[in-house]
Structure 1
Amino acid sequence: MESSTNGDRIENGSADLMIRKKEEDEGFGDEKKEAAVVESVEMIFKDKEVPEWQNQLTIRAFVVSLGLGVLFTVIVMKFNLTTGIIPSLNVSAGLLGFFFVKTWTAFLERTGMLKQPFTRQENTVIQTCVVATSGIAFSGGFGSYLFGMSEAVAKQSSEALDAQNIKNPHLGWMIGFLFIVSFLGLFSVVPLRKIMVIDFKLIYPSGTATAHLINSFHTPQGAKLAKKQVRALGKFFSFSFLWGFFQWFFTAGEDCGFQSFPTFGLKAYANRFYFDFSATYVGVGMICPYIINISVLLGAILSWGIMWPLIQNRKGDWYTEPSNTSLHGIQGYRVFIAISMILGDGLYNFFKVLSRTLMALSAQLKNKGPGGVIPVTNSPSSGDPDAAASSFDDQRRTEVFLKDQIPTWLAFSGYVAIAAVSAATLPKIFPQLKWYYILVIYIVAPALAFCNAYGCGLTDWSLASTYGKLAIFTIGAWAGKSHGGVLAGLAACGVMMNIVSTASDLMQDFKTGYMTLASPRSMFVSQVIGTAMGCVLAPSVFWLFYNAFPNLGDPDSQYPAPFALAYRNMAILGVDGFSSLPKYCLLLCCIFFFGAMLINAVKDFTPPKWSRFIPLPMAMAIPFYIGSYFAIDMCLGSLILFVWEMMDKAKAAAFAPAVASGLICGDGLWSVPSSILALAGVKPPICMKFLSRGVNSDVDKFLGGS
């Protein structure tokens, strides 16, 4: 799902932003907000010394980051390979990082062995490193462009099946590819950090929210609440892990277990309407805003409840392909209509964010003060205590932020050096991706990285996957199908996505560091180390899934990887045109493409009071080809949260994210032992299946007769 969503996920932080907007609309936390306005945050910490940037980078911070990085990489990978909906895990990363280090330092303090206290700057380093590590699991394309290169996905499209348009995953080249392309975005925007954060005062809502979270953790009241939240997270983590373990015993065969429970009857189950008892997506439903969950459910009803049964009735007229997985049959309608909605939504938001970026940039440049810095809105001389507090915070944060400069020459030389190396080595991995394609991408990428980082600062939306899709069509068409254009387009998508995604992520981290007085140098080093961890961990975790589940990527399997097929078919469209589409599919695609843009436009021009009830086309598109089972899970999570808020709003606001994180983390962690058991050949002992009365009677007769 596109956000955050970053690409095809709920945008890193956009889910948090939408939740915060919902809470503000409904009046949550008004007293806290009023108190926060009057009191200067930095005044609370004025007696605490800010450690040097080297001291913010501690061994214990990176040990904790590595452990949490493994956990969150597994979770994100599972999301990638199931539905592609990836919620923001920033809160979980910051909360667990605080808990583990705080527990360790408290123990050392009691024994008199504590040499360095735990600071909010170190907490920021941990959160940055963990998110950078798990972020590679998304931008690495294991559920989209990278896995879309494989033979397993290619067979589902029945197009471009020649060897030069297929490249199967292998641990070696995946790690090499990520190390080559994942660091360029970091160097592309480093010189702009002062302009973005201080001069233009961009909000970066996710970065700001993370900073407020970390700052609150390190006050006495915040530390007490954080401990309670971690206990709640731990309880539901244990429950979720044990529930996943329990379910495993009943999955000895295909379509066995609780995940195949026909909740609404066998007819509904055949049309993928059922509750699959997934703790993960119940937790996701508690984190995601209500409108996302409802949009997913509406998309499922529109597609599997109405459209696909009607189109199946036209079999023999509109299409003749009997296979349910061939793109020349019913699957073609499912996949390409979903792609058209994704593209329509993505292009609309691209132009919207780009126009806002250009207008805001133009206005800020015109209003820029003679000293090169946009003046603070309020002045302490006005006698306003709010303005005085804000001014003190700005001055203190600006002073620390400008103290440890990152040399501009380092950024430029780093970008040029990595670009030169990748231009020379990427064609070795992908011979179809010529060096001059790569050169064009690297010339254009810094400008796009700036646009993405700036737009993310305004709206909290990263459009990394949209830029990646543009690369798919342009480079794929340039190369041509006969010269491996499908593979070239997918590889170019990976290069572009990694650059623009890491650029916006780094600027979010700079904003977080600015508000927690963490040094830009420590932020940059933490991001680099986290990215390096992710370049090894993400391919390794994917390799575990790939080897443990032979049917990975199959639409009817436990891990269908829906966006892998979508991205591959975008590449096929880029090089092959629309000739392979079934009858009337192009017409339906155009209707849904422009329909997605129209819905977005209506949502933007409708007053907020009513626009929050208008569904999101991107969320509606996801169930079009994977069904609605996860939509049922997510809506159940929304229902739990709604009832909880009706009973106790304050407690729900404080603990719902922790409970949801526990459900997600526990079920996600169970994926590791289940994969290891599969690799070891250990199979569950029981198959729990559900049959209709007639089929069951036939089975009984057969068994009785034998």
Structure 2
Amino acid sequence: MTTRDKGEWRSSQPEFTLPAVTVGLLIGCLLCFTNLYFGLQTGWISMMSLQSALLGFLISKLLPTPLSPQELIVVQTTAVATGTMPLAAGFVGILPALGLLEEEKDGSPPIHLSWISAIGWSCSVAFFGVFLSPPLRKQVIIEEELAFPSGTATAQLISVLYKQPPPNPSLRRRAGYRALDTEDPLESTGDQSGEIDRDTQEIATRIETPDECEVIQQEGWQDLAYSFLASGVMTLAAFFFPIVFAVPLFGRYLAREWLWSFTPSLSYVGQGIIMGFPTTLSMNLGMLVGWGLLSPLSKWAAWAPGPVGDMATGARGWILWVSLAIMCADSLVSLLPVCQSYIVKLLSSYRTLKHTDDPIQEAGAEDETPERLVPPSWVVSGLVSSILLGTLLVWLVFGEEGIKTWATLVGFLLGGLLSVLGVRALGETDLNPVSGLGKISQLFFAWIQPGNVVANIIAGGVAEAGAQQAGDLMQDLKTGHLLHASPRAQFYGQLIGSFLSIIVSATAFNLYQRAYTIPGPSFPAPTAYVWLNLARLLRDGQLPARSGLFMLVFALLFAVNAGIKVMAIRRGHPYAKWIPSGVAFAIGFLNTPSFSIARLIGGLVEYWYHRRKGSTGGRDIRLIVIASGFVLGEGVVSVLTLILRTLGIGVISCWGCSGGICPGCPA
């Protein structure tokens, strides 16, 4: 099946195959529904690249001809492209934010896109970042050899599953690979517009022998089936009896008046396992500060006199501003070292070209043949076409009153520049700060098109989409580079996955809008308020009472915290993972305590499991398979509950609710 080339292995079979694409689309559609469901609930989505590889490997065993390792990389690339579209196209943030517009405050009535308009908007932003990736690959993967820890870990895992020689371990001694070399690897947190993602790169480094992949082949399906079934049954029970997911653990008064309840969702537990204990701990510290201290303080001081859960006049809306300050400060400070290294790299390249007699000499040589690469002509024509088509589609969907045509073009150009920063940040730290990049675009557009809230939000969405898709594909291209998969095959998979996901995401979002109020009690879409509130602040500069002081204090605090964390990670200090993550801390503010507590349970399970059971590869893989089953179980069954609600089938009994404890129930 493979041939050896310069000490490494390479597939001798076709890589872009119908089975690989089909399996990738199947997994990706499951992830798409799951990410849309959880994104609208909590603002959290996951790239799930490592989990996609695991699921693809399991499904591969059921096929007449098992997939090759390179085909599995195409599976993973296609699945990730399909699964992350709810974020890239703004279904969990941008579109709900536009639906919250008020003509008196924002100069525009609420904008609710029809199905065809949602398709048009998605097409406008879905492909720009994909065409940015091939030229960036040559720079950041071939020449600079940036780490991309999650992509490297996935490559290590795939090589073990197929009992093949692992990627060249000498690369791990380069700067940026310390997290893969330490005995207690640092956690990987991905900023998904405030959403936390941890691809658990340490799993691959803990695999001691290739024989441990037998754990997956023999017990993986059983683990996945049981965890999927348990989570699905619990989700269905909560649909008919809402109290199942709204347990008044701290008493009915706190649950009803202060939103302190508990959601024993196995999917949240699974998310906590994937995130890891340090990240869930940061999230719950934010929950305690936001909901345990600042929320009561703002209520009792009459800074937020409305009901606690009201986003306009209540404590939840008040602490949202503090959360916004934390996320912006953390993201911007985390980008500074990336900007510095990029400038140093450019200056170094300039000096080299100026003083060398051989300016064509490169730091890294391309190891793929031209027929396996994406031709430059495709890149140029694709970028030009995606920008022009995107500008036209934005104009058709939102009109000249929404955003000027020239401003949309500027938004794409700015999005391209910011995508470079996002890709470099991802390569060096495993963090793609798309929320921070989107906010930078909002700040810029507050200057060039002042007073236009709609344009401000759209411009932020364009920048976020470009950075998100370029980063996702670059992480996958790193995996492919280490295992000699065809970049062109991965490029095809990304395009196909993105195209199908446009239809799937738009259709699912349209169904959710028909069945539920979005944002609403069941799907609060917390990141929508982050986008809208920043746009409003940049328009009129008005803040809720006393919130400005707290925003400044927490922004300064977490700017310093982010700086310390970045330096600790770069130096490979083992305590770096215990320094609170600013984005995770802010997520604790965005979501009610019920969401954070369940994830902390998952983080504790992960911590306890490794402490008591040991950290060998097979056991770690089993744990991540079980966690994936928990997450997918609720995500898939949510499609069934959506259909039931659309057909008019709903709650059987509100027993135990006792007046407004359960989301969506009348008080």
Residue 326 to residue 271, structure 1, CA distance change in 2 (3 Å): closer
Contact 1:93 1:131 (C-alpha < 8 Å) held by counterparts: yes
User: What aligned pairs does 1:562-577 form with structure 2 within 5 A after superposition?
Assistant: 562-577=526-541
**2:519 pairs with 1:553:** yes
Contact 1:87 1:287 (C-alpha < 8 Å) held by counterparts: no
Contact 1:297 1:632 (C-alpha < 8 Å) held by counterparts: yes
Aligned-partner residue type, residue 196 of structure 1: V
User: What aligned pairs does 1:489-638 form with structure 2 within 5 A after superposition?
Assistant: 489-549=456-516, 551-554=517-520, 557-577=521-541, 579=542, 581-605=543-567, 608-638=573-603
Match of 1:261 in 2: 247
Per-residue deviation, 1:526: 0.9
Contact 1:262 1:274 (C-alpha < 8 Å) held by counterparts: yes
Match of 1:154 in 2: 101
Equivalent of 1:250 in 228, 231, 241: 241
Per-residue deviation, 1:507: 1.9
Residues 598-622 of structure 1: CA deviation (Å, up to 9, x unaligned): 2222334568344433222221112
Equivalent of 1:408 in 376, 399, 418: 376
Aligned-partner residue type, residue 656 of structure 1: L
The separation in 1 between residues aligned to 2:152 and 2:380, in whole angstroms, is 28
Look at both structures and tell me which one has the larger radius of gyration over its CA atoms: 1
Match of 1:291 in 2: 278
Contact 1:285 1:293 (C-alpha < 8 Å) held by counterparts: yes
Equivalent of 1:424 in 392, 397, 404: 392
Contact 1:477 1:575 (C-alpha < 8 Å) held by counterparts: no
User: What aligned pairs does 1:73-92 form with structure 2 within 5 A after superposition?
Assistant: 73-92=32-51
Contact 1:311 1:330 (C-alpha < 8 Å) held by counterparts: yes
SS in 2 for 1:154: coil
Residues 350-385 of structure 1: CA deviation (Å, up to 9, x unaligned): 22322233335555776899563326xxxxxxxxxx
SS in 2 for 1:56: coil
The separation in 2 between residues aligned to 1:42 and 1:268, in whole angstroms, is 64
Contact 1:600 1:616 (C-alpha < 8 Å) held by counterparts: yes
The separation in 2 between residues aligned to 1:582 and 1:520, in whole angstroms, is 50
Equivalent of 1:217 in 154, 157, 161: 161
Per-residue deviation, 1:196: 2.5
User: Which segments of 5 or more consecutive residues in structure 1 lack a partner in the other structure?
Assistant: 1-39, 107-116, 252-256, 376-394, 696-706
Contact 2:58 2:216 (C-alpha < 8 Å) held by counterparts: yes
Match of 1:698 in 2: none
Residue 42 to residue 645, structure 1, CA distance change in 2 (3 Å): farther
Of residues 589-598 and 97-106 in structure 1, the stretch that sits farther from structure 2 once superposed is 97-106
Contact 2:119 2:506 (C-alpha < 8 Å) held by counterparts: yes
Per-residue deviation, 1:88: 4.1
Equivalent of 1:357 in 334, 342, 345: 342
The separation in 1 between residues aligned to 2:639 and 2:7, in whole angstroms, is 43
Contact 1:476 1:575 (C-alpha < 8 Å) held by counterparts: yes
Residue 319 to residue 305, structure 1, CA distance change in 2 (3 Å): closer
Residues 88-117 of structure 1: CA deviation (Å, up to 9, x unaligned): 4112211111221331125xxxxxxxxxx6
Per-residue deviation, 1:295: 1.2
Residue 680 to residue 653, structure 1, CA distance change in 2 (3 Å): same
Residue 195 to residue 586, structure 1, CA distance change in 2 (3 Å): closer
Aligned-partner residue type, residue 157 of structure 2: L
Aligned-partner residue type, residue 675 of structure 1: L
Per-residue deviation, 1:43: 8.0
Per-residue deviation, 1:319: 5.6
The separation in 2 between residues aligned to 1:98 and 1:142, in whole angstroms, is 30
Per-residue deviation, 1:634: 0.9
SS in 2 for 1:160: helix
TM-score normalised over the length of structure 1 = 0.79
**2:232 pairs with 1:241:** yes
Per-residue deviation, 1:338: 1.4
Residue 415 to residue 640, structure 1, CA distance change in 2 (3 Å): same
Note the aligned Cα RMSD (angstroms).
2.7
The separation in 2 between residues aligned to 1:41 and 1:279, in whole angstroms, is 44
The separation in 1 between residues aligned to 2:350 and 2:253, in whole angstroms, is 61
Residues 634-654 of structure 1: CA deviation (Å, up to 9, x unaligned): 111122222222321135423
Residue 653 to residue 625, structure 1, CA distance change in 2 (3 Å): closer
Per-residue deviation, 1:327: 2.8
Residue 246 to residue 498, structure 1, CA distance change in 2 (3 Å): same
Equivalent of 2:332 in 347, 353, 375: 347
Contact 1:477 1:574 (C-alpha < 8 Å) held by counterparts: no
Contact 2:334 2:563 (C-alpha < 8 Å) held by counterparts: no
Per-residue deviation, 1:149: 0.2
Per-residue deviation, 1:169: 2.9
Residue 366 to residue 76, structure 1, CA distance change in 2 (3 Å): farther
The separation in 1 between residues aligned to 2:228 and 2:588, in whole angstroms, is 27
The separation in 1 between residues aligned to 2:468 and 2:502, in whole angstroms, is 15
Contact 2:298 2:304 (C-alpha < 8 Å) held by counterparts: no
The separation in 2 between residues aligned to 1:323 and 1:224, in whole angstroms, is 51
Match of 1:434 in 2: 404
Aligned-partner residue type, residue 680 of structure 1: L
The separation in 2 between residues aligned to 1:683 and 1:418, in whole angstroms, is 43
Residue 473 to residue 280, structure 1, CA distance change in 2 (3 Å): same
Residue 445 to residue 330, structure 1, CA distance change in 2 (3 Å): closer
Aligned-partner residue type, residue 279 of structure 1: L
The separation in 2 between residues aligned to 1:326 and 1:660, in whole angstroms, is 32
Match of 1:183 in 2: 127
Q: Identity of aligned pairs, percent? A: 26
Residue 686 to residue 308, structure 1, CA distance change in 2 (3 Å): same
The separation in 2 between residues aligned to 1:121 and 1:229, in whole angstroms, is 21
Match of 1:12 in 2: none
Equivalent of 2:611 in 637, 643, 646: 646
**2:292 pairs with 1:333:** no
Equivalent of 1:69 in 28, 35, 42: 28
The separation in 1 between residues aligned to 2:606 and 2:291, in whole angstroms, is 27
Q: Please identify runs of 4+ aligned residues in structure 1 that moved more than 6 A.
A: 40-45, 364-369
Residue 689 to residue 173, structure 1, CA distance change in 2 (3 Å): same
The separation in 2 between residues aligned to 1:442 and 1:654, in whole angstroms, is 40
Residue 249 to residue 510, structure 1, CA distance change in 2 (3 Å): same
The separation in 2 between residues aligned to 1:320 and 1:244, in whole angstroms, is 35
Contact 2:414 2:441 (C-alpha < 8 Å) held by counterparts: no
SS in 2 for 1:688: coil
Match of 2:427 in 1: 457
The number of residues matched between the two structures is 599
Per-residue deviation, 1:404: 2.1
SS in 1 for 2:61: helix
Per-residue deviation, 1:136: 0.9
The separation in 2 between residues aligned to 1:45 and 1:91, in whole angstroms, is 22
Per-residue deviation, 1:665: 0.6
Contact 1:96 1:230 (C-alpha < 8 Å) held by counterparts: no
Equivalent of 2:70 in 118, 121, 126: 121
SS in 1 for 2:262: coil
Contact 2:24 2:56 (C-alpha < 8 Å) held by counterparts: yes
Per-residue deviation, 1:80: 0.8
User: What aligned pairs does 1:97-112 form with structure 2 within 5 A after superposition?
Assistant: 97-105=56-64
User: Which segments of 5 or more consecutive residues in structure 2 lack a partner in the other structure?
Assistant: 164-209, 662-667
Per-residue deviation, 1:522: 0.6
Residue 475 to residue 242, structure 1, CA distance change in 2 (3 Å): same
Contact 1:282 1:633 (C-alpha < 8 Å) held by counterparts: yes
